[in-house]
Amino acid sequence: MGEAVSAHSLFARHALLPDGWAERVRLTWDADGSLTEVRAGAAADGAPTAQWVVPGMVNLHSHAFQRAMAGLAETAGDSEDSFWTWRELMYGFAGRITPEQLEAVAAQLFVDCLRHGYTSVCEFHYLHRDPDGRQYAAPAEMAARVASAAEATGMGLTMLPVLYSHGGFGGLALGERQRRFNSNVEHVLAIVEALAPLRSGQFETGAAPHSLRAAALPQIVELAVALPAGRPLHIHIAEQQAEIDACLAAHGRRPVALLLERAPVDARWCLVHATHVTDEEVAGIAASGAVAGLCPGTEANLGDGLFPLAPFIAAGGRFGIGSDSHVGTSPVEELRWLEYGQRLRAQRRNIAVGARQKNVGDFLWQQALTGGAQASGRPVGALAVGRRADLLVLDADHPDLSGARASEILGLLIFAGNDNLVRDVLVGGRWVVRAGRHAEQDAIARRYLAALTQLRE
């Protein structure tokens, strides 16, 4: 595919377009990495040819540093193991990691994600201060390390500096182990401002009130108003039952209901882990136009619970997927878990479908693209003129795709086997993965090992 770099074009025998699968699609992009032509029924005209092409997936929720502890909290302790004991281990890593280590861990994460088909990440970033809780000389020191890792690997990034002011509902003071997260609205806006020169086709900034536990409602509203128009706002909203109970005790309202009532929630917003919601809250999120940020792998790992997907789809709700704690780094795993969790609960099959789209694989991929793109605040998520040239070439020679028709491809990708079927990955018009390998993956893995060795001492 060497010539694709200079030719800025690709000919797909089959490509997934916004209206569905199309044949003989010629894709062309400009030097900045945006699509300038997407034409079905076209001729190859000398462009390199691929068999199966789908848009690259958006990963709408990530805490990059947690890649370093994925799989390390799987031994039972003395007390009842829960989200809150996992959080203690996470605080241990968060308390130690240096800017250099964060950059090394984020680069490894982005290589993993790119190789499995994510071409955009929304980073929910709360490691603002140094390990002693002091501000770095540069307000965006840590955030810039994640941005640097994204640039080095070719990952598209939305950086969401987190507003984190309190240790619990009712304005509780931060705990000792939360001192690195300490921020107010002014700090968050300073980070957004400091990163402004990096904004490009590949990079955008938004902001994220951590949760109703860690940010007060007036702060959340202040941040939403002060953030430049159109930029995304993400929040952890209703992940754990204990959080719902604490919110009810403090405010007499459940978290989603409270947020919808008191904050200007609209299409800029992404409600991450809207796990515990009533029928009214499901309807309220759908009507607001906000995206539900679902992270089924992490939510299963942490024992959070199951989001009511079918009623949310029926209400016209928008959703996307994220790898969150990075116990998985593949969109296949998130989408498979999303559907399987629903099947196990309902004791029936084929849940994630629409009124007109009955193909589960196509429905899941397209919905996660649309919701993810909205949550990212970037022009991604579709093979369409003006969007980023972010796409995956699947491995047409793999036995899992043998003899497949277009309508079967995403079902096979999501529900059959465990091999990685992503062969080549184009992000912003640049081939970053070819034949399953990222160009920098060996050097990045060495730096990751060095960082992990220090972190685990």
Q: Is residue 324 among the annotated active site residues? A: yes
Based on CB atoms, which residue is closest to Zn ion, 64 or 351? 64
In 3D space, the residue among 390, 393, 383, 381 whose CA is nearest the CA of residue 422 turns out to be 393
Q: Which of 63, 116, 273, 326 is catalytic?
A: 273
- CA pair distance 200, 217, nearest whole angstrom: 31
Q: Which of 112, 304, 324, 390 is catalytic?
A: 324
Based on CB atoms, which residue is closest to Zn ion, 281 or 324? 324
Question: Residue 162 CB, nearest distance to Zn ion (Å)?
Answer: 9
Question: Residue 321 CB, nearest distance to Zn ion (Å)?
Answer: 13
Question: Residue 148 CB, nearest distance to Zn ion (Å)?
Answer: 22
Based on CB atoms, which residue is closest to Zn ion, 239 or 395? 239
Point out which residues bind Zn ion (CB under 5 A): 324
Based on CB atoms, which residue is closest to Zn ion, 17 or 223? 223
Q: Is residue 438 among the annotated active site residues? A: no
Tokens of 35: 């699509």
Question: Residue 65 CB, nearest distance to Zn ion (Å)?
Answer: 12
Residue nearest to Zn ion (CB): 324
Question: Residue 112 CB, nearest distance to Zn ion (Å)?
Answer: 17
Based on CB atoms, which residue is closest to Zn ion, 147 or 272? 272
Which positions are annotated as active-site residues? Answer: 273, 324
